[in-house]
Amino acid sequence: MSNETNQKDNRPHVVIVGGGFGGLNAVKILKNAPVRVTLLDKTNHHLFQPLLYQVATAGLATNDIAAPLRAILRHQKNCEVIMGEVTGVDTARKCVQLGDGEEIAFDYLVLATGARHSYFGKPQWEQFAPGLKTLNDGTEIRERILSAFERAENTNDEAEREANLTFVVVGAGATGAEMAGAISELTHRSLARDFRHIDPTQAKIILIDGVNKILPAYSEPLNEQAKQYLESVGITVMLGNNVEQVDADGVVVGGQRIHARTVIWGAGNAASPAGKWLGVETDKAGRVKISEDCSVPGFPEIFVIGDTMTQLENGKPLPGVAQVAIQQGKYVGRKIAALVANKPFDKPFHYWNKGNLATVGRKFGVAEIGKFRSAGLLGWLLWLGVHIVYLIGFSNRFIVLLKWGISYLTYERGARLIIDEGSHPDNRAVQVLPSQVEARKLA
């Protein structure tokens, strides 16, 4: 939409930054409102982040859990999509600043810019222990995991082979527990018979956390059952241990060196720089402290939602989960629609906790919905059903369900492709000497 067109259109302009759960739901609620909407995102797609770990473990392809924003919103005539990276907000002039120097004026602004990994003051660890937030993160971790097996297959150095067959997951929340369980299934099922010189089932998977329980958002019995399941499939669970060092050789935990060529980070989050853009009060993680209507104190036309904000309810901060972002996005959309229509809308935002679901392995999930608790097959089925329902687009739902069915029956994972082996700092080619080749021919 050109600047000339914008000047002729006198409808209030709503700028929404971020095409995740919060931003996309805010856009959709405004479909019939007398406003024009601009959705800004630095990527061109909406990502179903709860299934990203399955991309990282070769269970799903990237297009199974993502959809182009333009395709999702093609029928919403009052919305345009701009792919660009926001670098600041001028609150006095009411405009959003982009990296290319462009500015976009707004009447209402919604910041739904999500979060990134937090390395607790050690940003240098990221190159050795990537987190899992974007499609690029998912494909990079997938390539690190698969490349580790290839390197182990191509070396006769036992120490190097063991290091390549050791996988460390830092953080035992939902992301870490799901990732550890998926790696276990990959090694014990999908890759078990594919190599000639290594036994993938002997891979070591270590799950580490500084607190004394996994899945801390769940009740104690579910924590313990999930821990027992992970240990039953060969995962070493190290709780109450903080990581002291991460480097190319692995990690140091409690003064002990664990030699590992693949380390995956799921231990903490830090908000986007939205708080710095606005120059307002934030918490220690950088999340913007918002009012009860999701607006920024002192700026009633600016709203911050999802992982970018912090808000207390019943004395506790809202959790950083998709349902919070979805509900806040819908609430803010309704709030803006009422404001432009000069209708009263004084109801504060209230989060309805629909329950927590996580899967930590084949046929084993945990579910906590109100007073209902379940661990095992029923929890896994509930998790599967909910995630299929919330996937964007019928084709994605059908494809994911089909792939899960095939994987369940055959243990195969169809996305086992290494596209850019150079993404890992240790992904140098292993020199195979002629004598090694001859030895293998004789084996």
The confidence score (pLDDT) of residue 103 equals: 96
Active-site residue 178, yes or no? yes
The 10 Å Cβ neighbour count of residue 144 is 24
Contact between residue 90 and residue 433 where contact means Cβ atoms under 8 Å apart? no
List 178, 185, 220, 292, catalytic entry: 178
Contact between residue 258 and residue 252 where contact means Cβ atoms under 8 Å apart? yes
* Per-domain boundaries in the chain: 3-42+84-117+269-340, 123-267+355-423
The single residue listed with the structure tokens 């800004």 is 40
Quick one: angle between helices 21-29 and 322-340, nearest 10?
30
CA distance 428 to 164: 12
More confident residue, 384 or 68: 68
User: Which range, of 49-53, 172-176, 416-420, 432-436, averages the lowest pLDDT?
Assistant: 432-436
Q: Please, which pLDDT band fits residue 75 given cuts at 50, 70 and 90?
A: very high
Cα–Cα distances (Å) from 427 to 19, 53, 155, 164, 265, in that order, read: 33, 21, 13, 11, 18
CATH-assigned architecture of domain 123-267+355-423? 3-Layer(bba) Sandwich (3.50)
**What is the helix (H) or strand (E) element at residue 162, kind and residue range?**
helix 158-164
Cα–Cα distances (Å) from 47 to 134, 136, 354, in that order, read: 8, 11, 21
**87 pLDDT more than 70:** yes
The confidence score (pLDDT) of residue 440 equals: 41
What is the average per-residue pLDDT within 289-294?
96
User: Which range, of 39-43, 144-148, 264-268, averages the lowest pLDDT?
Assistant: 264-268
CATH fold match for the domains 3-42+84-117+269-340 and 123-267+355-423 = yes
Residue 441 phi, psi (nearest 5): -65, -35
What is the average per-residue pLDDT within 329-337?
97
The confidence score (pLDDT) of residue 394 equals: 57
The confidence score (pLDDT) of residue 392 equals: 67
Closest CA to 208 of 132, 255, 264: 264
Helix (H, G, I), strand (E, B) or coil at 46: strand
Contact between residue 106 and residue 18 where contact means Cβ atoms under 8 Å apart? no
What is the average per-residue pLDDT within 360-375?
88
User: Which range, of 214-218, 334-338, 397-401, averages the lowest pLDDT?
Assistant: 397-401
Residue-wise pLDDT for 243-268, tens only, equals 999 999 999 998 999 999 999 999 88
How many Cα atoms occupy the beta-carbon half-sphere of 122 within 13 Å?
Answer: 16
Q: Please, which pLDDT band fits residue 412 given cuts at 50, 70 and 90?
A: low
CA distance 11 to 78: 10
Buried b (16+ CB within 10 A) or exposed e, 363-399: ebbbbbeeeeebbeeebbebbbeebeeebbeeebbeb
Contact between residue 369 and residue 354 where contact means Cβ atoms under 8 Å apart? yes
Domain 3-42+84-117+269-340 fold: FAD/NAD(P)-binding domain (3.50.50)
Residue 265 phi, psi (nearest 5): -105, 125
CA distance 247 to 261: 9
**What is the helix (H) or strand (E) element at residue 333, kind and residue range?**
helix 322-340
Residue-wise pLDDT for 173-206, tens only, equals 999 999 999 999 999 988 988 899 999 999 999 9
Cα–Cα distances (Å) from 132 to 174, 175, 264, 373, in that order, read: 12, 8, 8, 28
Helix-, strand-, coil-residue percentages of the chain, each rounded to 5:
35, 25, 40
